[in-house]
Each structure stands twice: as C-alpha cells, then as structure tokens.
Chains A and B, each alone.
Chain A
Amino acid sequence: MRTRLIVAFIVVALLTAVATAWVLNLIVPFYPSLSGLLVNPVPLQHLFYSRKPGHMYHPAPPAALAFCLTVVGVLLAVIAGLAFAASRRVLRPVRRLAEAAQRMSGGDLSVRIEPSGRDELAQLVTTFNGMAAALEGKVGELQRMEARARQFAGDVSHELRTPLTAMTAVADILPGQPGLTGDAAAAAQLVSQEIRHLNRLVDDLIEISRFDAGTAQLVTDNTDVAAAVAACLRARGWSDVATDIPAGLTMPLDRRRFDVILADLIGNALCHGRPPVTVQASIQPADDGERLVLLVRDHGPGIPADALPHVFERFYKADTARSRSEDSGLGLAIAWENTRLHGGHIEAANDPGGGALFTLVLPLTPAATAALPDGEPVTVTRL
C-alpha cells in the first residue's frame, strides 16, 4: 500500500517537472525575463516556425499558443488518468471489503474475500476473513444448540405420549369403581383429572414444537367466519357469548387452526374476565388489501399494565398466585403462532370501557400469507 502511494507520488512529480520544462521552453522566447528559469535554454520554437537570426523574438503567433495549450492539456490528462488508475487500484480492495461487510450484515456469514498482494489492505482482508469465519462458526454453533434444544423439547413430548396412552386408556376405570370411598375415591378422581391435564399439556407442547421446527402447515378452506365462531362456541358449550359478525363473510382459513385461535381467545376471556364476553368482527381496509378484524372483549378487571407485553409468552401467568386453570399456559402462545401462520397478528389491550380486549387481525387474501421461519410462504389450499 505504502509502496504504491510512493511510486504514484514519484511518477506524478517527474511528469510535472517534465511538463514545466516543456512549457517554459515554449514561452521563454516571448518573455526574455523568464530565461533565467531555463535549465537548458534552447528556444524550442525554432523547431516549428523560425530559424532565422533577427526573427528570434517574433511575437508568438496564435498557432504557437494553441500548440502550447494542447501539450499542457494532454499532459494534464495523462497525469489525471494515471492518478485515477492508481486510485482505482488502491480502492478496489476497499470496495470489495465494503460489499462483503454489507453481505455479512445482511446475514450471509459465508462471505470471504480473495486476498491479493502483501500490503496493509491485504492484511485487512485476511483479518476480515478470519472474523467472518469465527462469526460463522459461533452462529452455527448457537443455531445447532438451539435446534438441539427444540428437538429435545419435541422428543420429550413425544416420549411422554407412550405412557400417557396407557394411562389415558384406563384413567376412567378408577373413579367409577363402586368399592372406592373417602381418600381412595378422591385420589382416583385426582389421578384421572390430572392425566387429562397432562394430556392437554403434552398436546400443546407438541404443537409448539412443531411451530418451532417450522413444520406447521396451513391447510386453508374457504370458511364462513360467523359459522366458524358459532361452531366453536357450540362445540364447547359456551352459550353466554354474544356475537356480532356480518353474515356471508367468507375467507380462506385453516379451519382447525382458526378454531384453536377462537377457542383460546374466548376461553381466556371467559376464564379470566367477567361476562358479558362479546365477539365482534368486521372487514377493514389496509395498505395491502382488506383484512378481518375480530375483537374479543370481556368486562372483567382487564390485564395489569406490566403483564400486557407478556400475555403471549409461553407459560406466562399474569397472576402468580392464581390457582391453576384448565389451560396449559401455552394457549395464547399457540393462538399467536397460529395467527402468524395465517399472516396476521393479535394485540392484547385494555378496553377504555373496562375489561380486556384482544384484537385478531387476519389478511383476507392468501397472498398476504406469512412466511415460515425458513422463508418459504406456505399456503395449501384444498381443491
């Protein structure tokens, strides 16, 4: 690097000296007072238009001046060209470094630069390559660790299922046993009830691990929203929920996943809020087409302000002293993932009128479907 700069400087200095000598040679004949500056005072203009004695100091004709300017111009152009070429040579590795750094910040940690020469820039390139390799290794290791942890959670859930299959099959035999009384009857009841709870927990864990692994798939059917909400309420025996949903509102939805979202939001409102619980839906315009906005509102005390940002976190419980409910603690997290899979989002807030308000927003068109973690948008539409 330094050598290159020195060489470039010497070349430019030499060229400047030569050019100055030339120009002086050409103009001295017309300005005798400058002759002292000449190293070797040879009147070069003789070469071009006059060799006669007595014609030595003839006033410079326009042709001579034009020639002068042309030579100076050409020389300046040559110098500028050389300087530009030198700067390009110096700047090329810098530009490549900048491009590589940009690719890295875009997430491509596999980027490396071919080092050339042995100057400071080459050293910088080598250091950059080393840094990229170290970063890539570290990030890769973290990703592998995370994948192992996720895989482990999924495997544990799957392994729990085998003993649960045996327990679930016989869970109902014990409580109905006529000989059981007192403590034994209570114990049998508790075991049976907790087997059901464990089942729910394992189901939800497996569902979550499928989201984490990016294997959750959307299977959409054209769905009537009002009918889906009514079916969700009917299937769970929730009769005291008021609905206000336009009739004939249909959109592509994964029926099962949409039902899970509804059941989680409405179940949450019934469990933690107070009646009346209402479900309201409407179509609203957005930048990228229309969207479904579905509001689930209760009239309870609402959600504490410090809990609001965490309600969709796994196993988060707003009230730590609260007795354990039927919920696995994963309900809202699963609702959130299912919504994201549909390309939408859920917001939790407190209604100014009191009570908690959950807002579910889903794009009407499947084109706006979310990308899965691997970046591939997955929408499977039946028929």
Chain B
Amino acid sequence: MTEVLLVEDDPAARQGLELALRRLGYGVRPAGTGEAALHAIGEGAADVVVLDVMLPGLDGFEVCRRLRRGSDVPVIMLTARGDDFDIVGGLEAGADDYVVKPVEPRVLDARIRAVLRRTARAGSPAETYGELVIDRAALIVRRDGREVSLTPIELRLLLVLSGSPRQVFSREQLLDLVWEHDYLGDSRLVDACVQRLRAKIETDTSEPRYIQTVRGFGYRFGPV
C-alpha cells in the first residue's frame, strides 16, 4: 500500500483529507507540524508527501527544503488558490507538483499517482552523453560515474527529453507527458523541474549542455 505523509495543521482539513485518501486506498500518516513531518521522513515512513504551505513553526517551504537534503520522496504542495508566492516558493523548495485547496479527492489521487509513477524499464543499453550515462534498463543516471539521485518526476523528464535528442518539446507537451496534466497545466512546473534537474546533472547551470532552452518554444536535450 502506498503510504502518504499528510502534513496539514488544521485538524478538520487533516481529518477530511485523511478520510478521502484512505477511501482511495492509501495508507495515511498524518502530521500536524513541520517538525513531526521531518521526523516521519527520517523514519522512512512515506512514499509520497502531501505538504501544506502554511504551517506553524517550520513552514512548508522549509520542510520541503530540509527533506530534499537527504530524500527524493515525491512532494506535492497544498497551496492557496492562485497564490503565486506559494506556488513559486514551493517549486523552488523542490516540490514535484502542487494542488490548490480545496482539492477534490480524485484530483489529489491523480496527482499522487503521477508523481509516483516509475517509468517502465527499457531493454536498451545505457546511453552515454558526455559525462552523463542514462541507463534506461536500470533507471539509473550517472554523472562522472556517480549515481545522480532523482525524484520520479525528474527522472521521467530527463528520460522523455533524452529519448528524442535534439527534438524541441513545448512546456504543454512536457506537462502532458511527464506530469500527466490534461488541460492548462502550470508551465512553471516544467521550468522549476528543469532548474532542479540542471542543478543535478549540469556542470554549469548558466550554460547548460544537456537540457537546453529553446527561446519561445521549450526545451530540448543536447546536442552534446
């Protein structure tokens, strides 16, 4: 069973979301504070974290930043509607996706599934691009021989882009292929994830070699 760490300070909202998630077949570990959430992460108790931004003490951004130091567990932020500060802050802190409160259970379910989904292993041999080795069979990425630790979303984004080197993907395409957002997804998700991916695989993030920006169109992998 998929274990969800639900971090929400309001008891009613926490209880409501816990009820909904249990009915959807998830195991739920509720936490009321950021400290409790980090403690639970330390015990390795969660497959995915649903994290409210507004928390007493350590806020959602800080919790996300701290847990990202040692963990690649997928994080979905619970944000206020249209609150760009929350959304941008959450994505910069390392969240893989966000949902807007009040969230319908089926939407949360779809997002949790999307951030957890592991790309199917392929039988092809490992590909080498410069110092980067992408092993689609083992779903492992190595840079200078060292394994790069990626969240499922980051890995999927890299696999989609590198699967068709030099092909330009628009943000909308990537939202559909990687995040499985059907309609009018937030293209900032793509930008934020590209930034995080670059920080992990590029030598110089200001002059990226692997994930290049094509102004006005989107992103492409290479040419390396």
Chain A residues in contact with chain B, CB under 8 A? 158, 161-170, 172-173, 199, 203, 206-207, 210, 217, 221-222, 231, 235, 255-256, 259, 382-383
Contacts and interface: CB of A to CB of B under 8 A. Distances in A.
A162 B184 contact: no
A173 B23 contact: yes
Smallest CB-CB A-B distances: 4 pairs: A166-B16, A169-B16, A168-B102, A166-B12
B146 interface: no
A170 B20 contact: yes
Nearest to B54: A162
Interface string B11-22: 011011101100
B187 A165 contact: no
A242 to B, nearest CB: 22
B82 A255 contact: no
A256 B15 CA distance: 32
B208 interface: no
Contacts of B101: 161-162, 164-165
Interface string B189-210: 0000000000000000000000
Contacts of A222: 216
A23 to B, nearest CB: 85
B81 interface: yes
A263 B214 CA distance: 31
Query: Residue among A161, A166, A170, A221 with the most chain B CB within 10 A?
Result: A166
B13 A255 contact: no
Nearest to B107: A168
12 contacts: A161-B102, A162-B101, A165-B103, A168-B16, A168-B102, A169-B103, A170-B19, A172-B104, A173-B20, A206-B82, A207-B82, A222-B216
Contact of B81 (A161, A166, A169): A161
B17 A169 contact: yes
Contacts of A170: 16, 19-20
A206 B105 contact: no
Contacts of A231: 183-184
A206 B80 CA distance: 10
A383 to B, nearest CB: 5
B13 A383 contact: no
B176 interface: no
Contacts of B15: 166
A235 B187 contact: no
B20 A203 contact: no
Contacts of B217: 383
Contacts of B20: 169-170, 173
Contacts of A203: 81
Contact of B16 (A165, A210, A221): A165
A222 B171 CA distance: 12
Contacts of B216: 222, 383
Contacts of A207: 81-82
Residue among A162, A167, A255, A256 with most chain B CB within 10 A: A162
B162 interface: no
A260 B115 CA distance: 27
Contact of B17 (A165, A206, A255): A165
Given A158-B80, A382-B187, A167 B19 contact: no
Contacts of A161: 80-81, 101-102
Contacts of B23: 173
Contacts of A256: 184
B149 interface: no
A172 to B, nearest CB: 7
Contact of B102 (A167, A235, A255, A382): A167
Given A169-B102, A383-B213, A162 B84 contact: no
B215 interface: yes
Given A162-B12, A382-B187, A383-B217, 17 more contacts: A161-B101, A161-B102, A162-B10, A165-B17, A166-B10, A167-B102, A168-B104, A169-B17, A169-B102, A169-B103, A173-B19, A222-B216, A231-B184, A235-B182, A383-B214, A383-B216, A383-B218
